Structure 1
C-alpha cells in the first residue's frame, strides 16, 4: 500500500490540474451518472489507489473546481467548505 501524499491548500488550488492529479496519484474518469445534482465522487481503494469519478459534459470550470475540491477532501487538505447546495459525504 502506498503512502498518501501530503498536499497544501496552495498546491491544490494553484497547481495545474493535470500536475495535481499526478502529484496526488489520482486517476480521473468520466462517470455515467447523468443526475445534474451529481458533481463527482472520490473512491479510495484499500490498495491506496485514489480515483475521481466526474460527470461528463460539464464546463471546464466546474470540472476543475470539483476535482480540486474532491482531492482536498480525500487527502484532508484544509479548504473552506463549498456553499449550499454543494455537500460532501463519506461512506
Structure 2
C-alpha cells in the first residue's frame, strides 16, 4: 500500500477538484444509491485503492463540496465538521 499524501486544508478547499483527485489518486464513480440523504461514500479496497462513490443528478456545488469533504475525512485533513443534519459514519 502506498503512503497517503499529506494535504493541507488550503489544497483540499482551493485546488481544482480534478487536480486534487489526481494528487491523491482517487477516482469518483457513480453510485446506484438514490436516497436523497445519501451524499457520497469513501470506499477503500483491500489493495489500498480508494474511490468516492457519489450519487448522480446532484448539483455541481453539492458534488464538489461533498467530494472535498470526504477526501478531507479519508486523508485526515483538519477541516470543520459539517453542520447538522449532516453526519459521516465510518464503517
Q: TM-score, normalised by structure 1?
A: 0.97
Runs of 4+ in structure 1 off by over 4 angstroms are none
Q: Deviations over 1:10-59 (max 9, x none)?
A: 00000000000000110101100000000000012232211100000000
Partner of 2:16: 16
Q: Give the TM-score of the pair, scaled to structure 2.
A: 0.97
CA RMSD of aligned residues (A): 0.7
Per the alignment, residue 41 of structure 2 pairs with 41
Aligned residues: 91
State the alpha-carbon separation in 2 of the partners of residues 2 and 54 from structure 1: 24
Structure-1 residue corresponding to 2:76:
76
**Deviation larger for 58-67 or 42-51:** 42-51
Q: Secondary structure at the match of 1:30?
A: strand
